[in-house]
Copies of this chain bind each other. A is one copy, B any other.
Amino acid sequence: MAGSAAALAGMGLGAARDAVAQAAPPAAPAAARPLPAYVAWKDPAALIQHSGTTIETRRSAFGTSPITPVDRLYIRNNLPAPDASIVADRDAWTVAIEGVKSPRSFSLAELKGLGVETVAMVLQCSGNGRGYFPSKPSGTPWTVGAAGCVLWSGVPLRSVAAALGGVAEGMRFVTGTGGEKLPEGVDPKSVIVERSVPLSVMGDALLAWEMNGAPIPLAHGGPLRLVVPGYTGVNSVKYIKRLAFTAQESDARIMSHGYRISPPGGKGDPSQPSVQEMAVKSWINSPSGEGAALKAGPVQITGVAFGGVHAVFAVEVSVDGGSSWLPARFVGPDLGRYAWRNFAVEARLAPGTHKLVSRATDSTGQVQPKDRQENAGGYNNNSWADHALTVVVA
C-alpha cells in the first residue's frame, strides 16, 4: 500500500487519467510536489500547496463549468482531519441537535429520512485574496484559488428543526461544532472549531452528506458537514457532531477572537464584525497570465463571478486595467443565487502587455469595489484591482 499511496501522491487523478492510459511514467508538472496522503487523490498539477492543510486551486485550473471538480477544489482545515475510520460506516455518524423543543441525536441514516435538498454554493475561504494585501497579514497568502463552486446535498436545517418541534424560544444563532480530535493539554475552547451564524440562515442551510454527486470526502468534512450558503467556508463546519440553536454566539476562540474584521495591526475581539457573509466578487481565469505569451487573434476572456448571499447580476471586463469596461456575458446554466456564474467576453488584443480585470455587480446593485478593505487578518478581499492579471501578447 505504501507503494501505491506514494504513486498516487506523486501523480494525482488528472495526471493519472493520461499517464495510466499511456502506461508510461507520469511527467510531474514542474511546480507540483506530492500531496499529503489524505488528499493524495487530488490533482497536484491543478493545485498550489501552501502547507499540508492549505492547498489552493491554480487560476489556470478553473474551467468554464459552474461546478468545481472535487479533485481540483481547495483545502483549508483549521485542525487535522479526523481519523478515516469515521467514513468507514458513514450512516453511523451521529449529530446531537440542541436548542429545539425535543433535543435528540440523529444518525446520518436517520437524517436521510427527514428530507433532501441540493444547493449549489460558492465555498470560499475567508482569507481568499489575502496574498494581495501589501501588509502581508499572517495566514495563508491565498490568491484566487481558495474557492470553488460545489453542489451539496443533505437535509435542510428547517426540516431537522421541524422534526423536533421547532427551534426553542429565544434562540438567535445556529452553532455548529466540529468533530475533530483536539490536541491535548490545551483549553478545548482555544482550538475547537465551533462557529455561530444568525438564525436567518435556516432558510437554505443544510446538514450535507454529499458533494458534487458523491459522499463528501473526509478531507472536505465527510461524513456530515454543516453548509451555510453565502457565508465563508469556516462557517460550514466539517465533521459536524453538534448542531445547536443558541441564544448567544459560541465562546470558542475561533468565534470570539478568530475571523474578525480587526483594524490593521490590531487583534480580533468580540466587538468587531465576524467574517460571515461573502461580498460580491469576480476574477478572470483565462487567459491566466501563466505560461507563454498569447498569440495575437481573438481570445475569450473567461472567469467567475458571485454575489455571496445575493445573486450576481452583471460582470464587466477591462483590458486596460480599469480605464474602460466591456460588458461580459454569462456562460452556462444558472445554478441559483449562491452559485457562481462563468462569464466570457471576446477581445482582440494587440501585441504588447495588457492588464485584465473584471468587476461584478450583485442583484442588489452592490458593485465590486476597486479597493480592498484593509484589516489585520486579510479577510474578505474583493478588490477588483487586486485581482488583475497581466498578459503578454506576442
Asked whether any CB of chain B lies closer than 8 Å to the CB of A117, the reply is yes
Which residues of chain A in 194-238 are interfacial with respect to chain B, using CB atoms and an 8 Å cutoff?
210-215, 217-219
Q: Are B4 and A332 in contact (CB under 8 A)?
A: no
Q: Are A3 and B3 in contact (CB under 8 A)?
A: yes
Asked whether any CB of chain B lies closer than 8 Å to the CB of A153, the reply is yes
Which residues of chain A in 74-113 are interfacial with respect to chain B, using CB atoms and an 8 Å cutoff?
81, 83-85, 87-88, 109-110, 112-113
Asked whether any CB of chain B lies closer than 8 Å to the CB of A331, the reply is yes
Question: Which of A14-22, A125-133, A241-249 lies on the face that meets chain B?
Answer: A14-22
Which residues of chain A in 8-39 are interfacial with respect to chain B, using CB atoms and an 8 Å cutoff?
8-9, 11, 13-14, 16-26, 37-38
Asked whether any CB of chain B lies closer than 8 Å to the CB of A366, the reply is no
Which residue in B8, B19, B65, B83 is a CB contact (below 8 Å) of A212?
A: B65
Residues of B within 8 A of A2 (CB): 23
> Which residue of chain B is the closest to A14 with respect to CB atoms?
B214
Known: A40-B16, A41-B13. A69 touches B214 (CB 8 A): yes
Q: Are B72 and A214 in contact (CB under 8 A)?
A: yes
Asked whether any CB of chain B lies closer than 8 Å to the CB of A344, the reply is yes
Q: Are A17 and B65 in contact (CB under 8 A)?
A: no
Minimum CB–CB distance from A365 to chain B (whole Å) comes to 24
Minimum CB–CB distance from A18 to chain B (whole Å) comes to 5
Known: A25-B1, A65-B118, A118-B342. A113 touches B300 (CB 8 A): yes
Question: Which of A139-147, A179-187, A333-341 lies on the face that meets chain B?
Answer: A333-341
The CA-CA distance from A266 to B151 in the complex, in Å, is: 45
> Which residue of chain B is the closest to A114 with respect to CB atoms?
B298
The CA-CA distance from A18 to B1 in the complex, in Å, is: 13
Which residue in B14, B213, B333 is a CB contact (below 8 Å) of A335?
A: B333
Q: Are A65 and B210 in contact (CB under 8 A)?
A: yes
Known: A66-B118, A344-B116. A8 touches B18 (CB 8 A): no
9 contacts between A and B (CB under 8 A): A5-B23, A8-B16, A16-B41, A63-B210, A63-B215, A64-B213, A66-B118, A69-B213, A119-B332
Q: Are B118 and A18 in contact (CB under 8 A)?
A: no
The CA-CA distance from A8 to B4 in the complex, in Å, is: 7
Minimum CB–CB distance from A269 to chain B (whole Å) comes to 37
Asked whether any CB of chain B lies closer than 8 Å to the CB of A123, the reply is no
Known: A213-B72, A333-B333. A18 touches B88 (CB 8 A): yes
Q: Are B21 and A218 in contact (CB under 8 A)?
A: yes
Number of chain A residues close to chain B: CB under 8 A: 82
The CA-CA distance from A100 to B17 in the complex, in Å, is: 35
Q: Knowing that A5-B23, A17-B41, A72-B213 are A-B contacts, what are 19 other residue pairs whose CB atoms are under 8 Å apart, sorted by A's residue number?
A: A3-B3, A4-B7, A16-B40, A20-B37, A20-B41, A21-B81, A21-B219, A64-B116, A65-B151, A65-B211, A69-B69, A114-B298, A116-B344, A118-B331, A119-B333, A151-B333, A153-B332, A333-B334, A335-B335
> Which residue of chain B is the closest to A35 with respect to CB atoms?
B20
Which residue in B20, B119, B213, B218 is a CB contact (below 8 Å) of A17?
A: B218
Q: Are A331 and B117 in contact (CB under 8 A)?
A: yes
Asked whether any CB of chain B lies closer than 8 Å to the CB of A358, the reply is no
Q: Are A118 and B333 in contact (CB under 8 A)?
A: yes
The CA-CA distance from A4 to B304 in the complex, in Å, is: 36
Minimum CB–CB distance from A208 to chain B (whole Å) comes to 10
Which residue in B18, B118, B218 is a CB contact (below 8 Å) of A87?
A: B18
The CA-CA distance from A334 to B332 in the complex, in Å, is: 12
Which residue in B11, B66, B110 is a CB contact (below 8 Å) of A151?
A: B66
Asked whether any CB of chain B lies closer than 8 Å to the CB of A120, the reply is yes
Which residues of chain A in 305-349 are interfacial with respect to chain B, using CB atoms and an 8 Å cutoff?
331-336, 339, 342, 344, 346
Asked whether any CB of chain B lies closer than 8 Å to the CB of A273, the reply is no
